[in-house]
Structure 1
Amino acid sequence: MQEALISPFFTNNVIVLGILALSLAAIFYTSSLNSWKKFYTIFPALLLCYMIPAVLNTTNIISSETKEYEELYYVATRYLLPSSLLLLCIGIDLQGLVNLGWKPIVMFLAGTFGVVIGGPIALLIFSQIHPETVSGMGNQEAWRGLSTIAGSWIGGGANQTAMLEIFGFDKTLYGGMILVDIVVANIWMAILLFLISKNDKINLWLKADNSSIQNLIDRVENYSLSVQKQPTLKDYMLMFGITFGGLAISYYFAELVANTLSKIPAFSDPQSFFNSFTSSFLWLILFSTVIGVIASTTKLRSLEGAGASKIGSVFIYILVAVIGMRMDILQIFENPFLIILGIVWMIVHVIILFGVARLIKAPFFFIAVGSKANIGGAASAPVVAGAFNPSLAPVGALLAILGYIIGTVAALFSALIMEWITINFIL
């Protein structure tokens, strides 16, 4: 990825966070005004929360190509995300979560299957219509690089690194694959955030049964209303203690488990199926979700009436804005044919998702979350789930954990198919 020739105007994290905070405040304020209703009908508020930081990054007012941004992204994903999951899980209804049934799992697996075969299909198409895209890497065949995208889109960073090590792709060319990964995933994220505003129309087309999701939302909202009260300082301090105390516990056990597993040869080997379990981020998301769910079975659940999920949603929207900064719109033109290959890959993934959803009459929520649990994982699946309703964010987190578990094996399978296509149709 090429570095910007001109330094970004603002790099200080405090200033950048302030700009993002003011942008979010302006979006939420204007979206509440009648005079802006037509505008937000075309451009949903959530989409703007994502796209305005992307535009600021593209115009180099702020930038994701700095050390300071990596620090901001780390805080957003490692502190705010698990904290938001803990707060959002406090008010969850476990029975309602169970009542969602088997469809979320099926849609997640459909998304995985779409990524697994989407890469080979895109590779085969481009070997015929634009062979230079897939044969212009010398001895480092394109399939080796594309395997890293498969790892990222099914599992995450750990799975992506595993594919890089297993197939020995040239690290000097690796930046191009990261570019495809980030740009295409961010384009799909923007489209999804827009489509969420059309949720009811899409569900009509899918002939979907949305009752289990609506039942969960209603149960959580009814409970929230039943315990609603004027929050006191004691309530806020209690939430503060539970959130960051729970985060500390999650961090302690996440690092303990990850470090212990990394000392076991079967887990430490980058080529091992079990390597993903050495990711402390996986365990951080799992433990923070579990702590929140456990809290929801106690009297602490009444904190939902004091606004626990609203504070969790604030963290989620900050995360949306920080993730939005990762998108540089102009990067689409840096290596257009490789980006188009990635888009074709993503289209296959989306077609399979919609096809399976139509077949089993699954609502659009399961499409969106099933997709982002693969492509984006724990950093964005709860964001997309929470965009439908804050009470649904834990569903995204739980499905994303599945992505970490099966990511390496599924990406390996995809890579082997791409290798076969390369041998038989390209070389």
Structure 2
Amino acid sequence: MPQTDSALITNDIVVFGLIAATLGAIFWLASGPTPFWKKFFAWIPALLLCYFVPAFYNTVGLIDGENSALYNPLGSRVLLPAALVLLTLSIDLKGILKLGPKLLFVFCAGTVGIVLGAIVSFQVMEWIHPPAVAGDTWRGMAALAGSWIGGGANMVAMREVYEVDATLFGQFAVVDVAMASALMATLLFIANRSEQIDARSGADTRALDEMKERMAAYEAANARIPTLTDLMVIVGLAFGLVGLAHAIAEPLSAWFSANVESAAQFSLDSSFVWVVLLSTFAGLMLSFTRVRNLESAGASKVGTVCLYFLIACIGMQMDFTRLFERLELIAIGAIWMTVHVLVIWGAARLVRAPIFYAGVGSMGNVGAAASAPVIAAAFHPNLAPVGVLLGTVGYATGTIIAYFTGQILRMMAGQ
């Protein structure tokens, strides 16, 4: 895509090198090489910097992100579906079922709380401050639903499906980080007092004790160091399926456009929507095969690398100076998160589930596989894989559920 001459760097290869170096520096600093950086990243998530630093480059004129070819087609059409494949193939549905019906019930209640929270927050803000939900706000909310049901890949997928403006997406990224960070801080505080809370509520913790032992055995049996063959298979599988998804999506979207009258209303005439759905479905189907063993060799880590490059490419398109123009979006996020917490807390109380179920179920939705293990480990180190299992479920369901949540919000917005 041609670029303007206003930016200092106009060569996309040079821009790619700059972005790669920036991401590497952020993650190295996030590892805590000094006490200062350890404290800094305890408050500022690396994810947010991966978005905002490229946005800063664009804002000051160092690069021209809007006209760069890095985001489209490389980022959105290649890296995103590859990330979806690798993040969903690791799902162990059988293992999740063994965790017990109460945990699954609470987790699903959390997902319902996210969908309900989107509807309630939109309606409440329409009553008290209509400009907050006017225009394309519903599109940004659909993207946020993708993040809070699944994760970053699902948020980016919804960003593409509903064509969310880069600045609006950045504003909702702030809401995402602010609300998720507040929730995590609260859950970490609760984790240190979980035994007292469970004792007072009369929760049944027998299944939780068995789970600790089972997860410890699973983790010990499956960990291994990836070989070159493992990594080549992971990369080949991911990008091979991306190519297949594109090959199928083009004629499929054309068929829906020609034969289904309401195809445009539900974005079924968009080839990209089908690429996202097919990539997610392919990864989910592979999770039932031996291919899922690639997770022990780092499949999800490779997928996360693709995801972070994609997030940086999205940040390149944003004008940083416009980021805080709509602080009322924070109010939407606060109402939304409150509804989610109330629903999942009520579900846990209903089935006398341990507070751990509510904590990891909530973060399994809002924080997905990146944050849920942190909360799970805060309750007990051996429970971290539970957070991974629940978090990865969101990657499979987040895109679909967030898509339909977006359709509801679209109707509420009258579009």
Given candidates 108, 112, 121, the residue that maps to 1:118 is: 121
Partner residue in 2 for 1:323 = 314
Given candidates 273, 282, 286, the residue that maps to 2:277 is: 286
Q: Is the 8 A contact 1:87 1:309 kept in 2?
A: yes
Cα–Cα, structure 1 residues 331 and 367, in superposed 2: closer, same or farther, change >3 Å? farther
In the TM superposition, residue 21 of structure 1 has moved relative to its aligned partner by 1.4
Residue 18 (structure 1) aligned with residue 17 (structure 2)? yes
Q: Is the 8 A contact 1:154 1:410 kept in 2?
A: no
Q: State the TM-score, normalized to the length of structure 2.
A: 0.70
Partner residue in 1 for 2:189 = 201
Cα–Cα, structure 1 residues 50 and 283, in superposed 2: closer, same or farther, change >3 Å? same
Partner residue in 1 for 2:7 = 8
In the TM superposition, residue 67 of structure 1 has moved relative to its aligned partner by 1.8
Partner residue in 2 for 1:107 = 110
Percentage identity across paired residues of the two chains:
26
Distance, in Å, in 2 between the alignment partners of 1:304 and 1:114 is 33
Partner residue in 1 for 2:51 = 50
Distance, in Å, in 2 between the alignment partners of 1:144 and 1:54 is 24
Distance, in Å, in 1 between the alignment partners of 2:60 and 2:207 is 43
Distance, in Å, in 2 between the alignment partners of 1:278 and 1:96 is 36
Distance, in Å, in 1 between the alignment partners of 2:346 and 2:119 is 20
Given candidates 224, 227, 242, the residue that maps to 2:237 is: 242
In the TM superposition, residue 94 of structure 1 has moved relative to its aligned partner by 1.8
Distance, in Å, in 2 between the alignment partners of 1:24 and 1:61 is 17
1:67-120 per-residue CA deviation (whole Å, 9 max, x = no partner) reads 21x642542232122212322333331223445624444333332333333234
Cα–Cα, structure 1 residues 265 and 295, in superposed 2: closer, same or farther, change >3 Å? closer
Mapping of 1:316-355 within 5 angstroms? 316-332=307-323, 336=325, 339-355=326-342
The AA in structure 1 aligned to 2:262 is: F
In the TM superposition, residue 26 of structure 1 has moved relative to its aligned partner by 1.5
DSSP-derived class of the 2:283 partner: helix
DSSP-derived class of the 2:256 partner: helix
The AA in structure 2 aligned to 1:59 is: V
Distance, in Å, in 1 between the alignment partners of 2:277 and 2:209 is 25
Cα–Cα, structure 1 residues 111 and 217, in superposed 2: closer, same or farther, change >3 Å? farther
Q: Is the 8 A contact 2:107 2:358 kept in 1?
A: no
The AA in structure 1 aligned to 2:334 is: I
Q: Is the 8 A contact 1:108 1:369 kept in 2?
A: no
The AA in structure 2 aligned to 1:93 is: D
Cα–Cα, structure 1 residues 121 and 401, in superposed 2: closer, same or farther, change >3 Å? same
Mapping of 1:134-153 within 5 angstroms? 143=134
Partner residue in 1 for 2:347 = 360
- Count of equivalent residues: 367
Q: Is the 8 A contact 1:107 1:370 kept in 2?
A: yes
In the TM superposition, residue 331 of structure 1 has moved relative to its aligned partner by 0.4
Alignment gaps of 5+ in structure 1: 128-132, 135-141, 162-176, 373-380, 420-427
Distance, in Å, in 2 between the alignment partners of 1:211 and 1:244 is 43
Mapping of 1:17-416 within 5 angstroms? 17-30=16-29, 31-35=31-35, 36-64=37-65, 66-68=66-68, 71-98=70-97, 99=99, 101-126=104-129, 143=134, 156=158, 160=162, 178=165, 181-192=168-179, 194-195=181-182, 198=185, 200-201=188-189, 226-270=221-265, 275-332=266-323, 336=325, 339-361=326-348, 363=358, 366-367=361-362, 370=365, 392-412=391-411, 414-415=412-413
Cα–Cα, structure 1 residues 242 and 117, in superposed 2: closer, same or farther, change >3 Å? same
1:397-416 per-residue CA deviation (whole Å, 9 max, x = no partner) reads 4222122134324431x236
In the TM superposition, residue 125 of structure 1 has moved relative to its aligned partner by 2.3
Q: Is the 8 A contact 1:91 1:224 kept in 2?
A: no
In the TM superposition, residue 330 of structure 1 has moved relative to its aligned partner by 1.4
Q: State the TM-score, normalized to the length of structure 1.
A: 0.69
The AA in structure 1 aligned to 2:33 is: L
In the TM superposition, residue 256 of structure 1 has moved relative to its aligned partner by 3.5
DSSP-derived class of the 2:337 partner: helix
Distance, in Å, in 2 between the alignment partners of 1:278 and 1:106 is 32
In the TM superposition, residue 212 of structure 1 has moved relative to its aligned partner by 9.8
Distance, in Å, in 2 between the alignment partners of 1:326 and 1:368 is 29
In the TM superposition, residue 13 of structure 1 has moved relative to its aligned partner by 2.5
Q: Is the 8 A contact 2:57 2:63 kept in 1?
A: yes
Distance, in Å, in 2 between the alignment partners of 1:24 and 1:218 is 37
Partner residue in 2 for 1:422 = none
Q: Is the 8 A contact 1:83 1:244 kept in 2?
A: yes
In the TM superposition, residue 10 of structure 1 has moved relative to its aligned partner by 2.6
